[in-house]
Structure 1
């Protein structure tokens, strides 16, 4: 059956992820055809590094697709069916502050967890609100697929700001990435795998893994991870810091082995160890610029002035790009495919606050997200989640109310901090460098 093509807007189009997203979109164009792609970025100079390459891919594989490049929000959002959102408010300059400032105080310097994640979240909420308001000015029907980090804070804030907007979907590709890695270990097709999972974004656990034929792989996988180093599916392309991240899954499971934890939990359980290994002068922001970004820019530079693709590599993404297209496909054609989704709890985890935004297995179709009920979680995990949720909720309230005290409370609660003095010191420094993005007021 021929599928109706769509108009999509890529928000944050200057990301180094965009070329592989376009390559994946072309790879999957029969499943999700596009009649128009609108590339939007407030910094068109950044998009300029990849524009020729993206245009060449579209011209080669889908010449019928119209291409628009714009820095104007109204042009970007006035008439699209889907927004693929991957914005990074403040770009790598602010990411560098997010990672380096906490390390001054012996705290984890990471872009989505701890104080860095707090600062990034405060910037992202404002950027996302501006985008959603512009999209909804023109259409209530446009699907907004948001992959902007830190997804836990952004997703919770957007749920508070737009509680009835069921076409605003917050997603994360990290559980998807882990499942691709699981499939490689098990030597099975990831498309056949299904999981059960509970938690908050970047703060969850896999509790079951099976295929569409009913074969149970969980115990086999758990036994493997108890006895072998966990490696990502693309280990040969990863830097040492990323490989160490996966190895800490093994370390966590040597302590508590009933479930398989997400990689990001390492920052909460091994904060001191990670800080000790970190270089305050060279963090992942620097590493990304010198590795992943440089590799992408170098490939894209080959397309400058070219009318034919020739021997230029076609970049694709088996995780981020594939998931983004599969999610859009499942919604557009009401396939109700299963993913790990973010959604308001409302009884999915029945001993956790109903208003929390949790991450569980669920389906996506024309009615949006439908979470699969998980049931109760055990005391250990519930306690961890309640502490993390309190941090996320206070962060969102601090942004909405511009409340310094709530921000301080949020950071003090965060498991990577747990210290009023350090929380205050790092908050004050982060406020200083983020003045153009968010401000807080001290009140009696």
Structure 2
């Protein structure tokens, strides 16, 4: 779809330019210039050295594929945020060193160690919030009409904080996990990709369920999908993609166990951490966690490929590919820029979207995206099982944000204790005390 009558071109800033996901976003933007034309592409990161490794390769990529686009990489907020239409935020406060502790500290106490769920997710949330708020403020200062698409993790806690601290800001919190799963659903039923599916979904971020999936003709695909998921989870053809770490294979397989708990819906993969924490811990190595896997695999691949591009002076034969979340982000930008009303998921104040859940909960539901941002669609009433799960987890997220804003040890202990992943308040306290020491450079002092 081209927009012939509209000759606007857009300026995009990637905040977190040093991320290993940045090359995928750049490629998606370059592949989609017919739908979403660019005049300028900028990177911003507070780690200039890390960003430079990615930016030097991206500069070559942009020059070869679209030399008319102005490219800039900077560590200066004023330069970065001036004259932008969209900010794509993907920051990791504390980088992999802190992520490693988010995973390893809970595991030391026999509890799931994961970057967006449980104690690790809460710890990461408290580090992320000030960073994301800082980006929102830079955007509003230097480009007050811009939109921010935030997919910095843990999206649920960050979204709760932005709802409270910047309620009128043009920030949309999004996540790529359901997108990746829907691409798999499309494969299972023999369709091209997620855009061929019409779906109903509700929950919190990394914590939701599909209640209905159809094709564009209205044919119900749930029976076929359920049959597959009951047996294989979200693994497709038992053939696991090359280039992705083995822990993901386990995650997609375990969707079968999560599905068994509620065969009326299809689950988000992350629910495995809440429903089967004992099994997850049993299969975890406290000395070699997901961070180690990423550093040994994805990070080496991405930085290695960037170095190769720079050394050869060309990106013509690059192995970089657009990925799930990058295609989703560009679709969102296009929908906002051209007011297309495309139906996509976002994390948004509930306000009745799930009729029997707290109206202030930041829920993940389908929305229509246009010039005014996201317009939530009503998903009706949550079933008893989902209501219980969502209410508990949302309380955890609210308590975590309370704890940060009030510098409250008790509220954070409550958040850790209430989390379904943590077996009791004593263990919650031990983990929290270790986390306080580990996060001393990032968290406020708790009283």
TM-score by length of 2: 0.96
Tell me how far 1:246 sits from its aligned partner.
1.0
Query: Do structure 1's residue 429 and structure 2's residue 434 form an aligned pair?
Result: yes
Residues matched between the structures, number: 440
SS class of match (2:262):
coil
Query: Do structure 1's residue 240 and structure 2's residue 246 form an aligned pair?
Result: yes
5 Å matches for 1:41-190? 41-165=45-169, 167-190=170-193
8 Å contact from structure 1 (residues 102, 108) kept in 2: yes
Within the candidate set 5, 17, 20, 2:21 is matched to: 17
| Structure 2 unaligned blocks of 5 or more | none
SS class of match (2:217):
coil
Tell me how far 1:4 sits from its aligned partner.
1.5
Tell me how far 1:300 sits from its aligned partner.
1.3
Tell me how far 1:340 sits from its aligned partner.
1.6
Equivalent residue, structure 2, for 1:209? 213
Distance 1:48 1:412 in 2: 41
Q: Describe the superposition over 1:132-164 as per-residue Cα deviations: whole angstroms up to 9, x where unpaired.
A: 112112333110000000000001110111112
8 Å contact from structure 1 (residues 101, 429) kept in 2: yes
Equivalent residue, structure 2, for 1:333? 338
Within the candidate set 1, 6, 9, 1:5 is matched to: 9
Tell me how far 1:436 sits from its aligned partner.
1.2
Within the candidate set 303, 307, 326, 2:309 is matched to: 303
Provide the aligned C-alpha RMSD in A. Answer: 1.4
Tell me how far 1:265 sits from its aligned partner.
0.4
Q: Describe the superposition over 1:199-220 as per-residue Cα deviations: whole angstroms up to 9, x where unpaired.
A: 0000100111012222221121
Q: Describe the superposition over 1:287-334 as per-residue Cα deviations: whole angstroms up to 9, x where unpaired.
A: 001111111122111111444334333x22241110111111111111
SS class of match (2:380):
coil
5 Å matches for 1:229-308? 229-231=233-235, 235-237=240-242, 238-308=244-314
Within the candidate set 381, 399, 411, 2:404 is matched to: 399
Query: Do structure 1's residue 381 and structure 2's residue 413 form an aligned pair?
Result: no
Tell me how far 1:19 sits from its aligned partner.
0.8
SS class of match (1:282):
coil
Q: Describe the superposition over 1:181-203 as per-residue Cα deviations: whole angstroms up to 9, x where unpaired.
A: 10111110222212100100001
Distance 1:252 1:91 in 2: 30
My pick for the range that moved more, 241-250 or 130-139, is: 130-139
Distance 1:278 1:308 in 2: 41
Classify 1:46/1:232 alpha carbon distance in 2 versus 1 (closer, same or farther; 3 Å). Answer: farther
8 Å contact from structure 1 (residues 92, 285) kept in 2: yes
SS class of match (2:403):
helix
SS class of match (2:352):
coil
Distance 1:317 1:53 in 2: 15
SS class of match (1:205):
strand
Tell me how far 1:130 sits from its aligned partner.
1.1
Distance 1:85 1:255 in 2: 35
